[in-house]
Structure 1
Amino acid sequence: MPLIFITGGVRSGKSHFAEKAAVTHYQTEFMQAQRLIYIASGVALDHEMEKRIVRHQADRRAQNIEWLTIEAPYDIANTLYNLSDGDVVLWDCVTTWLTNAFYEGFDRGTPCIEQPGCLQEKIKGLKKAVKTLLEKRVTFFIVSNELFDEPPYASEEVELYRQMLGKLHQWFVSIADEAYEINYGVVKKWK
């Protein structure tokens, strides 16, 4: 399975690049590709996020190709296990999923970040599911945000988030066939 990792700053063009690459791969492999899947991790908790989700949906519709959208704001591992040979998959995005993982359970009184071992289990489950995909004939595009150009934050929680995200990025790149960074619409291929 080819795994393609794509990162960049907010509004850098990374999602557009990833969508175009996934569609091109799907169309190139049309005889073998089964489904073109978009795994969305965003949850419209505020007006800004709602606008971003609507914009991404409109971008996909404008491509005149049928995407199967799977909403997976929390249980990404189970979603990945249910992919099939021949699928071309775009997951957008790791940073949103990790934020969701941090605060899942907040509505019930105790977010994951406050539960011992909860975040580690979620990341362990994600990695196991991705490793399982490596054994399938699935092309997997992963999008994430680059948050490491700023100095450390005073908030321990924000720093923990950045450290966990950084480790996830390193892990994804270590197993990726290709890795890209997008800044200001400029694509840099690192691997």
Structure 2
Amino acid sequence: MVRGKLTFISGGVRSGKSSYAEKLLVHEAQKNAARLVYIASGVATDSEMQARIEHHKSDRSTHNWTTLEQPVELEKVLPSIQPGDYVLWDCLTTWLANELYTGWESGKPCIGQSGCMQRKETQLYTTIDALLSQAAHLVIVSNEVLDELPSEYAETEIYSKWIGRIHQALVSKADTAIEMDYGIPIIWKNDRQEVTQ
């Protein structure tokens, strides 16, 4: 099977990136009579996050999305992906925060263990490649957090370092890279086909 298309979409919080990504994949999946898969990395840790998750579910309710809840260890979705699927992963930034703090309940979060995030990063890229070997189109949504001023908190700076590094690697792999700004898609890279708006 030909490698699937990879689209990377970033933007500020509530910039319209998730809605744009959903519409993009719905349009393509309908055109090809294919299955829509939503990989959700969010965890309802408070009432605001629960409300956001419910809002996203409501947005997807008019189309037949297969939802896979996977806050960590993205590779665990691979057995559920079928050839020709149209897959949306929302979102990378939530996944990264979840992964950085895996093990915190035992007092050994990944963020404090030498080599832990490097292993998770390597596994992430292997998983993305495996997804692209099955999916017709994979869209990855991520938040743009690097426009903020440097933080006084060391852990925030570690997070920023990792998100910047992973963003660069995924944009390098991507066929299309889009930044959402006030609901407007700004296309920075488009190596394959036109982007439907």
User: Counterpart amino acid of 2:84?
Assistant: G
User: Counterpart amino acid of 2:51?
Assistant: K
Cα offset, 1:65, TM superposition: 1.4
User: Counterpart amino acid of 1:87?
Assistant: D
Cα offset, 1:75, TM superposition: 1.3
Q: Percent identity?
A: 48
**Aligned counterpart for 1:91 among listed residues 85, 89, 111:** 89
What's the CA shift string for 1:121-152, capped at 9, x where partnerless? 11110111112233334310100000111221
Q: Distance in 2 between matches of 1:51 and 1:36?
A: 23
Q: Distance in 2 between matches of 1:134 and 1:117?
A: 26
Q: Distance in 2 between matches of 1:82 and 1:113?
A: 29
Q: Distance in 2 between matches of 1:92 and 1:42?
A: 8
Residues 81 and 129 in structure 1, CA contact (< 8 A), matched pair in contact too: no
Q: Distance in 2 between matches of 1:108 and 1:87?
A: 37
Residues 81 and 132 in structure 1, CA contact (< 8 A), matched pair in contact too: no
Q: Distance in 1 between matches of 2:180 and 2:114?
A: 35
Counterpart residue number, 2:117:
119
Counterpart residue number, 1:40:
40
Residues 85 and 136 in structure 1, CA contact (< 8 A), matched pair in contact too: yes
The normalised TM-score by structure 1 is 0.93
User: Counterpart amino acid of 1:13?
Assistant: G
Counterpart residue number, 2:153:
155
Q: For structure 1, which runs of at least 5 residues remain unmatched after alignment?
A: none
Q: Distance in 2 between matches of 1:184 and 1:107?
A: 38
Q: Distance in 2 between matches of 1:85 and 1:96?
A: 26
What's the CA shift string for 1:87-129, capped at 9, x where partnerless? 1100000000000001111122221112221111111101111
Change (3 A) 1:81 1:113: farther
Q: For structure 2, which runs of at least 5 residues remain unmatched after alignment?
A: 190-197
Residues 39 and 70 in structure 1, CA contact (< 8 A), matched pair in contact too: yes
Residues 85 and 134 in structure 2, CA contact (< 8 A), matched pair in contact too: no
1:172-187 matched pairs, under 5 angstroms: 172-187=170-185
Give the aligned CA root-mean-square deviation in angstroms: 1.2
User: Counterpart amino acid of 1:44?
Assistant: A
Cα offset, 1:160, TM superposition: 1.1
Residues 80 and 130 in structure 1, CA contact (< 8 A), matched pair in contact too: no
Q: Where do 4+ consecutive residues of structure 1 move more than 4 Å? A: none
Q: Secondary structure at the match of 1:136?
A: coil
Cα offset, 1:187, TM superposition: 1.1
Q: Secondary structure at the match of 1:182?
A: strand
Counterpart residue number, 1:24:
27
**Aligned counterpart for 1:72 among listed residues 51, 70, 73:** 70
Residues 83 and 138 in structure 1, CA contact (< 8 A), matched pair in contact too: no
Q: Distance in 2 between matches of 1:99 and 1:138?
A: 28
Residues 75 and 127 in structure 2, CA contact (< 8 A), matched pair in contact too: yes
Cα offset, 1:169, TM superposition: 0.7
